[in-house]
């Protein structure tokens, strides 16, 4: 039977990730766009690989976002302890580790997609529009979690969206909280999400490197294909 307290924790993990992505994702895309518009990125790429520059940008924003989330969480935790609220139950160490793992995987995967979107624009003000598909995907994943998964964690749709890597970070924590998830499905979702995250780093690095040489207008994906394809013949520099 589902533990209401554990279910609240699963819902909280998805909610925190959702809010962190919507807030930090915009900052990441605008930071990358600013680096491109100001030509700072060209200086950085003289000594660093595109992947190193992007990882540094994402880690910097992620650190600030994590600190802000912790600061905002303290009043909630204190209030829960003072009022004796039971919506935050005592969590086992594996559940805590799993929650942290999903947050890291989900944040990392979408953060690099936001970074790729920021590299496509020519003006910082265009960054928000460029990353709309990523934002829409995050919103869709969250809505699937709070409607489909919470409504029936064992349904085929719930299983599908909790394993699909682009929605798993927002839906699997909620489904796992129901207690009805086979371990192999959890491991499969974790593995697919991790591989997809690595692919997002490669994709963002490739887009970043190729988009830097295209200025004066917003870059279209077709232009990136025409500039040497995706074979990486020019290396990662």
CA 74 to chain centre: 23
Check if the beta carbon of residue 107 is closer than 8 Å to that of residue 62: yes
> For the whole model, what pTM was predicted?
0.80
**168 burial level (CB within 10 Å; 0-12, 13-18, 19+):** buried
Task: Return the structure tokens found at 199.
Answer: 């692919």
Residue 188: its pLDDT value, please? 96
Q: What is the pLDDT of residue 167?
A: 93
Lookup: tokens for 179: 């207690």
The pLDDT tens digits of the residues spanning 5-50 come to 555 666 777 788 888 888 888 888 888 888 877 777 777 777 777 7
How confident is the model over 101-140, as pLDDT tens digits?
888 899 889 999 998 888 888 888 888 888 999 999 999 9
Of 192 and 72, the one with more pLDDT: 192
Interval 167-218: pLDDT, tens: 999 999 888 877 778 999 999 999 999 999 999 988 888 888 777 767 677 7
């Amino acid at each position: 039977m589902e533990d209401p307290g554990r279910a609240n924790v699963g819902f909280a993990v998805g909610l925190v990730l959702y809010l962190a992505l919507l807030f930090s994702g915009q900052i990441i895309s605008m930071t990358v766009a600013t680096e491109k518009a100001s030509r700072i990125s060209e200086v950085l790429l003289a000594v660093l690989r595109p992947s190193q520059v992007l990882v540094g940008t994402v880690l910097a924003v992620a650190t600030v976002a994590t600190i802000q989330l912790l600061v905002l969480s303290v009043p909630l935790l204190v209030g829960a302890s003072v009022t004796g609220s039971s919506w935050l139950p005592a969590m086992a160490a594996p559940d805590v580790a799993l929650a942290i793992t999903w947050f890291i995987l989900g944040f990392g995967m979408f953060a690099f997609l936001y970074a790729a979107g920021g590299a496509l624009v020519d003006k910082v003000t265009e960054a928000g529009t460029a990353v709309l598909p990523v934002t829409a995907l995050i919103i869709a994943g969250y809505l699937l979690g709070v409607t489909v998964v919470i409504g029936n964690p064992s349904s085929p749709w719930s299983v599908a969206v909790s394993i699909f890597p682009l929605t798993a970070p927002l839906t699997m924590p909620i489904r796992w909280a129901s207690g009805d998830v086979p371990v192999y499905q959890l491991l499969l979702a974790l593995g697919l999400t991790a591989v997809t995250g690595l692919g997002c780093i490669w994709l963002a690095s490739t887009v970043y490197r190729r988009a830097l040489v295209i200025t004066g207008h917003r870059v279209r994906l077709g232009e990136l294909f025409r500039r040497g394809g995706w074979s990486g013949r020019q290396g990662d520099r």
